[in-house]
Amino acid sequence: MTNRKHPLVFAHRGASGYAPENTIVSFKKAMELGADGFELDVQLTKDNEIVVIHDEWLERLTDGRGFVRDYTLEQLRQLNFNKNFPEYGVQRVRTLREVFELVKDSDIEVNVELKTGIFEYPGLVEKVLALAEEMDMKDRVIYSSFNHYTCVKIRELLPDARIGFLYGDVFIEVEQYVKDHGGDAIHPAFYLLQDPIHAIKAKQLGLEINTWTVNEPAYMELCCQLGVDRIITNYPDVALGIVEKFKSSN
Ligand code: G3P
Ligand code: MG
């Protein structure tokens, strides 16, 4: 457990308020803006490569159609992963290995969210853990998932992994549940922290609090007051400004 006096700032899907989400430019932008880390989402291709993409399907984010898992990496590489930020031109899918290569020589932390909620992606957990080990990223990765069986599996395979349980709805005694299932951190949607009792309970249990997706300055301020450990945001520069203000007034 940390007794951090102020939150760290993590860029959600990279600095996705400014650049196409989960692309190399969004991760570079996060680093340029001074984020402490970034969050990204991973899935498996048809040929079992770990790719960085949020949706299970291609339509929202690319010029392709269908499911990610039905394409090989080479096929996915033909697609444009930039639909919303013309200033960044064509962007290609990235593997987790490529993103780890980008940050290897920095002190950036990476929150790897395993997207096993719709498709199970057998082998994804093992592959992600092996890659982090191979690339000496083990100590700089926080693993998270909405699929809590995935969280438990990570704990079984890597006892000292840092693991966050994601959730976006109200659960009874969620902090105790996360603790009982081997979590190190709660990863709630930010609106679930409005009642301070949740932050208090998490702290009492020695759990970190990493919350998403906090894009409004007022909620960023609330995160500071509550003792949140990591603010996950599309606008890391805004959050860094709020955290600085909080630090200087405390
Ligand atoms: O990991 C935080 C956040 O990314 C969880 O939701 O849907 O943006 O992946 P989502
Ligand atoms: Mg995510």
Q: What is the 3-state secondary structure (H, E, C) of 115-147?
A: CCCCCCCCCHHHHHHHHHHHCCCHHHEEEEECC
State in Å: Cα 113 to ligand 1 middle.
7
Note the pLDDT tens digit of each residue in 193-232.
999 999 999 999 999 999 999 999 999 999 999 999 999 9
219 lines ligand 1 (CB under 6 A): no
Query: pLDDT grade, residue 190 (50/70/90)?
Result: very high
**Residue 165 above 80 pLDDT?**
yes
pLDDT of the residue at 3 = 64
Which residue's CA is the nearest one to ligand 1's atom 2? 212
Cβ of 16 less than 6 Å from ligand 1: no
> CB of 212 closer than 6 A to ligand 1?
yes
Q: What is the mean pLDDT of the chain?
A: 97
Q: According to the model, what pLDDT value does residue 250 have?
A: 84
Q: Which two tokens stand for residue 213?
A: 């997706």
* Ligand 1 site, residue 41, Cβ cutoff 6 A: yes
Which residues are known to be catalytic? 12, 54
Ligand 2 center to 248 CA (angstroms): 31
In the prediction, which pLDDT does 49 show? 98
Rounded Cα–Cα distance for residues 180 and 172 (Å):
13
What is the mean pLDDT of the segment spanning 168-172? 96
- pTM reported for the whole predicted model: 0.98
